[in-house]
Amino acid sequence: MTAETTVAHDGAQTETLVLTLPGSTYTDPTVFARETDRIFGRRWMCAVRVADVAATGRFATVEIGGESILVVRGRDQVLRAFLNACRHRGALVCTEESGAVRRNLQCPYHAWTYGLDGALVAAPNLSSLGDIDRTRYGLVPVASREWLGYLWICLADDPPSFEDSVIGAVTDRLGDAAMIDRWDVAGLALAHREIYEVAANWKLIVENFMECYHCATIHPELTEVLPEFADGLAAQYYVGHGAEFASDVDGFTVDGSAGAAALPSLDPEHDRRYYAITINPTVFVNLVPDHVIVHRMFPRAADRTSVVCDWLYAPDVVASGHDVSAGVELFHRVNQQDFDACERTQPGMSSRAYRDGGVLVPAEHHIAQFHDWVSEMTA
Amino acid sequence: MTAETTVAHDGAQTETLVLTLPGSTYTDPTVFARETDRIFGRRWMCAVRVADVAATGRFATVEIGGESILVVRGRDQVLRAFLNACRHRGALVCTEESGAVRRNLQCPYHAWTYGLDGALVAAPNLSSLGDIDRTRYGLVPVASREWLGYLWICLADDPPSFEDSVIGAVTDRLGDAAMIDRWDVAGLALAHREIYEVAANWKLIVENFMECYHCATIHPELTEVLPEFADGLAAQYYVGHGAEFASDVDGFTVDGSAGAAALPSLDPEHDRRYYAITINPTVFVNLVPDHVIVHRMFPRAADRTSVVCDWLYAPDVVASGHDVSAGVELFHRVNQQDFDACERTQPGMSSRAYRDGGVLVPAEHHIAQFHDWVSEMTA
Amino acid sequence: MTAETTVAHDGAQTETLVLTLPGSTYTDPTVFARETDRIFGRRWMCAVRVADVAATGRFATVEIGGESILVVRGRDQVLRAFLNACRHRGALVCTEESGAVRRNLQCPYHAWTYGLDGALVAAPNLSSLGDIDRTRYGLVPVASREWLGYLWICLADDPPSFEDSVIGAVTDRLGDAAMIDRWDVAGLALAHREIYEVAANWKLIVENFMECYHCATIHPELTEVLPEFADGLAAQYYVGHGAEFASDVDGFTVDGSAGAAALPSLDPEHDRRYYAITINPTVFVNLVPDHVIVHRMFPRAADRTSVVCDWLYAPDVVASGHDVSAGVELFHRVNQQDFDACERTQPGMSSRAYRDGGVLVPAEHHIAQFHDWVSEMTA
């Protein structure tokens, strides 16, 4: 975090501006390749919603860190992740984004056949495979961990601590390790999913999510519900702080109408508040009384990022067909507004005006921690 | 200028062939990057027609040298150019190609607000900006100069002399510094604009414009009007020379019909002549008795160039709705014929047959001066 | 050929797995550039079917080794190949894929005119070209050779022996230099042509063609006709071996129906057999009793290859309008099945699971010879 200047002032308070990362870090393909290796290829990445692969033989494929990852549920009900490449000649074992197999995973090129646990169980004309070969030529396993109803994976040989790097990020933000349990995120049901293809660097999307200095300018609906956001300080600015709903709104909805009933395990103190959490590098969690919104980013190139956004409600709300559209619509608009802003920022990253970066105002200073984290990871 | 060979001859005249630039200079992205830096990023570039940004608050954006340039007219009626990137977090301040603002330029991300003179006039939550900050965090200014009714800009910190590099090119060609004033180009009105997306290197387009050795082959309409062009010598070959109209044509039109009345300030000696001027690196000016045609090139990649072509007539001709279509159609066809030729030349640039370049015949020898200029600029 | 492992076994036979090339050789643009230079730019490449340029002045253009190659038939009936770039300023002389000229080849930019033998015969304003200039500035000739009814070209200054590198490949496979003559391939007529755009590296297509380990999995129609293919051993595995038709099929057709009459010069021993030949780097020849199928590959990028497939039958069969669709359909399906498999293999090449390559089972060991050949060529 490099202080750039102190803005002139007549009062007592000093407004320091802090430098951002230089523009090239948002545009240079070699920087993106290094981030792919050092960040997406070594950190815990939120891959797949567990409920999307609920039954034995259900699988999903997802691209992370330049790899096609195959997630499949075994006969033992364990969810496992593998590199989605046949050990024989490298063909994708599963090409669909999701689906189900009956007993085994079979490469459709030469019919090498893998158990749902990844072991090679059959290969034509290699009738006499030994146990060693079954493992040696099994699908390459990828470290995985279930949390918040998602399977998180890590491509590193020696993954960092999940407790420190993922759960720790939530604790640091909320100030309380147990607090997120009140939402029972893993127990919620998917009410809506939206996929956004954003023509911007993933770091711009993180920075955008971390600050609310832009809220007054581009989020009219959100600031109606959360008036303090109009002042420019993000909920993430203070540990444990949740932005309070406006006194005249009944729920976290696009028109202020009431949402669903608050989740049963919540304390009354969370009843009219919005909490936002960034989990580096690519996950955002938004907590409101009646639902949870989870963003998973999939960086595709220096200037292109896919974002999958899930709206999660109580299972009975979803099962009953309760109309949640006013709740979904609020953050869908926020997403569109944010991603439009990121897309109009991306071109400026290659300007000589941004060669040494831009500046963070005081309400954005916490973004410097993200910049420091990125710099440290890619050093 | 390297003499390649002397063509065998029975007569007295010796026909020397001169080498062109090597093929890779037309295809290699690293060469284009260097040209972007050294040429488009350091020379005077014709950016915007002044009349397109006539009123206070009118703006235009244009891409030059890898930068989005913002041109806006101030309250003091001065036209200014800036890098189109907010000093805060780098978003494009204006995304439209043209438009108008009422009082200020406001970044639509965090509402940093700039005066039409580029100074930072407001930033939310930075209530106490001093004068130094207003300038320090103002939009980055770009050198600019009005001439011939266009705003020319230069991205260099220390721009070359406009008189030498732009006006001097016209004087060198016409042999008379005052001659172009007879056309009062800045006083003319836009009758038609055409934008061409050409799949060819910008230098091929310059070379094509500089010579008329191709005129007999691809420009049947033009050689009808200018019979000497069928002989292969460009108007640009001799200082001060204008190609004379055929005795049986009445104007510079696609069918030889009469055009508009000659511009009032012209001498009778220019009355039936065509003059062509190349202003390095990306501007062509064509002068005929009743109108002026201005080409501005915007190189996009080693193999892609946008060309904006303006047809300018006397204001009363345009205002009266006089039919100028036969005049416009002539050079529109010439443009199409030329750009087609450039597009079929681009693929040959990567042939091993062109590894060391091709050859210039005597009627093209003046192109070597352009090649020398490019080599010198990028050395 | 590197032995990776010996698969565990209870019997006497040892099943050795052999390493393939590493994944990056199928994805890295610099590897492809080197292959373009060292392989496609130096080996004999099958360019054009001779019958497609049968008459004087008929021409065809084709892209090989990063070059546009122009093939044209002369007044002396000789077929010649040239670099398709004008010696003057580099424009493509012919832009169409095929066509005909009356007397000469004329560059449509400045009208430099070449005889059908490539010599420069006229250039405007260079009236006094001597004989030396006509050759010196003639189209750059490319080595060429007719065989099997195709023109093969070589971009090398010093081409390798055609006998060794092309004809030798056929002899090595069939075990008999004269055997292919029985099919009189050059005397056959084109019944059908199909062009496939395949999103895969050219080497994957070669490897796929070389082995039949995948036949049982993806080629149901083919294994109906050639039951031994279901066992996984390619016809190419044994010198001189042709796969025998199933006893219950009448011809090499998609439904086992009878094809056309066997070619007249065939021996009875070839009468119900299928032979497949790979000619490095980019040609496959398939021989069956009543027709011949020739694949020519045109590698476009590391992950993109065009394949032109010709079905050739006896001239009287084609002339009579005999319905050959059941014959054509069989290999068209095989092609589609193979190219689909190659396309699903291409993404796996960039997986860390394939960083050091995959493995070849015993039925694929002969592919290692191809790998060795590629490595040697690009060393």
Query: Tens digit of pLDDT for each residue in C169-184?
Result: 999 999 988 999 999 9
Interchain pair C216, A124: CB under 8 A: yes
Model confidence pLDDT, tens digit, residues A202-234: 999 999 999 999 999 999 999 999 999 998 877
Look over chain B and give the mean of its residue pLDDT values, rounded to a whole number.
93
What six digits make up the tokens of A298?
């999939």
Q: How many CB atoms lie within 10 A of CB C30?
A: 9
Q: What is the pLDDT of residue C297?
A: 98
| Least confident span in A195-204, B19-28, B123-132, B275-284 | B123-132
Q: What is the pLDDT of residue C16?
A: 81
Q: Which residue of C has its CA nearest to A140?
A: C353
Model confidence pLDDT, tens digit, residues B160-176: 999 999 999 999 999 98
Q: Which fold has domain A172-356?
A: Naphthalene 1,2-dioxygenase Alpha Subunit; Chain A, domain 1 (3.90.380)
Task: Give contacts of B11 with chain C, Cβ < 8 Å.
Answer: 128
CA gap A9, A18 in Å, rounded: 16
Q: What is the pLDDT of residue C183?
A: 97
Mean pLDDT calculated for residue range B109-133: 87
Question: Over the range B201-229, which residues count as b (16 or more CB within 10 Å of their CB) and which as e?
Answer: bbbbbbbbbbbbbbbbbbbebbbbbbebb
Q: How many CB atoms lie within 10 A of CB C334?
A: 20
Q: What is the pLDDT of residue B101?
A: 97
Task: Give contacts of A109 with chain C, Cβ < 8 Å.
Answer: 214, 217-218, 341, 344-345
Q: What is the pLDDT of residue A5?
A: 58
Interchain pair A109, C359: CB under 8 A: no
Instruction: Tell me what percent of chain C is helix, strand and coil, each rounded to the nearest 5.
Output: 35, 25, 40
For residues B203 and B26, the answer to whether their CB atoms sit within 8 Å is yes
CA gap A345, B93 in Å, rounded: 9
Residue C12 pLDDT greater than 50, yes or no: no
Mean pLDDT calculated for residue range A127-135: 73
Model confidence pLDDT, tens digit, residues B327-353: 999 999 999 999 999 999 999 999 999
For residue B235, the cross-strand partners are: none
Rounded to the nearest 10°, the torsion over CA C174, C175, C178, C180 is 0
Model confidence pLDDT, tens digit, residues B312-328: 999 999 999 999 999 99
Could you tell me the end-to-end alpha-carbon distance of chain A, in angstroms, rounded to an integer? Answer: 15
CA gap C366, C363 in Å, rounded: 8
Q: How far is CA B372 from CA B21, B41, B245, B369, B378, in A?
A: 9, 19, 32, 5, 10
The residues in C 39-78 lying below 8 A from B, measured between CB atoms, are: 66-68
> What CATH architecture is B45-154?
3-layer Sandwich (2.102)
State pTM to two decimals: 0.94
Q: How many CB atoms lie within 10 A of CB C184?
A: 17
Which strands form B15-19's sheet, in the order they lie side by side? B3-7, B15-19, B359-360
Chains that touch B (3 or more CB pairs under 8 A): A, C
Location of each CATH 3.90.380.10 domain in chain C: 172-356
CA gap C258, B224 in Å, rounded: 66
Q: B12, B238, B15: which is closest to C125 by C-alpha? A: B15
Q: B15, B359, C15, C121: which is closest to A127 by C-alpha? A: C15
Residue B130 pLDDT greater than 80, yes or no: no
Interchain pair C352, A140: CB under 8 A: yes
Which long-range contacts (C-beta less than 8 Å, at least 24 apart) are formed by A95-99? Answer: A95/A61, A95/C344, A96/A61, A97/A60, A97/A61, A97/A62, A98/A52, A98/A53, A98/A58, A98/A59, A98/A60, A98/A61, A99/A58, A99/A59
User: What burial class does residue C254 get, using C-beta atoms within 10 Å of its C-beta: 0-12 exposed, 13-18 middle, 19+ buried?
Assistant: buried
Q: How confident is the model at residue B269 (pLDDT cuts 50, 70, 90)?
A: confident
Q: Indicate the residue of B87, B131, B132 with minimum beta-carbon distance to A358.
A: B87
What six digits make up the tokens of A42?
């070594």
Residue A162 pLDDT greater than 50, yes or no: yes
Model confidence pLDDT, tens digit, residues C239-295: 888 999 999 999 999 999 999 999 998 988 888 999 999 999 999 999 999 999 999
Model confidence pLDDT, tens digit, residues B350-371: 999 999 999 999 889 999 999 9
Please tell me whether the peptide bond between B347 and the residue prior to it is cis, using omega within 30 degrees of 0: no
Q: Indicate the residue of B66, B90, B110 with minimum beta-carbon distance to A348.
A: B90
Q: What is the pLDDT of residue B4?
A: 58
For residue A195, the cross-strand partners are: A308
Is residue C348 helix, strand or coil? Answer: helix
Q: What is the pLDDT of residue A235?
A: 63
Is residue A98 helix, strand or coil? Answer: strand
CA gap C141, C78 in Å, rounded: 13
Residue B262 pLDDT greater than 90, yes or no: yes
Q: A159, A155, A153: which is closest to A41 by C-alpha? A: A155
Q: What is the pLDDT of residue A267?
A: 87
Q: Indicate the residue of A66, A91, A133 with minimum beta-carbon distance to C7.
A: A133
Residue B14 pLDDT greater than 60, yes or no: no
Taking the Cβ of residue B140 and every Cβ of chain A, the question of whether any pair is shorter than 8 Å is answered with yes
Model confidence pLDDT, tens digit, residues B207-246: 999 999 999 999 999 999 999 999 887 766 678 889 999 9
Location of each CATH 2.102.10.10 domain in chain B: 45-154
Which strands form A113-114's sheet, in the order they lie side by side? A105-106, A113-114, A120-122
Mean pLDDT calculated for residue range A72-99: 97
Residue C13 pLDDT greater than 80, yes or no: no
Interface predicted TM-score (ipTM): 0.93
For residues A283 and A205, the answer to whether their CB atoms sit within 8 Å is no
| Pairing, β A189-198 against β C189-198 | unpaired
What six digits make up the tokens of A70?
């195959």
User: What burial class does residue A170 get, using C-beta atoms within 10 Å of its C-beta: 0-12 exposed, 13-18 middle, 19+ buried?
Assistant: buried
Mean pLDDT calculated for residue range C331-335: 98
Interchain pair A68, C5: CB under 8 A: no
Mean pLDDT calculated for residue range A92-100: 97
Residue B88 pLDDT greater than 50, yes or no: yes
Task: Give contacts of A347 with chain B, Cβ < 8 Å.
Answer: 68, 92
Choose from A37, A67, A82, A89 for mutation: most chain C CBs within 10 A: A89
Q: What are phi and psi of C97, to 5 degrees?
A: -70, -30
Chains that touch A (3 or more CB pairs under 8 A): B, C
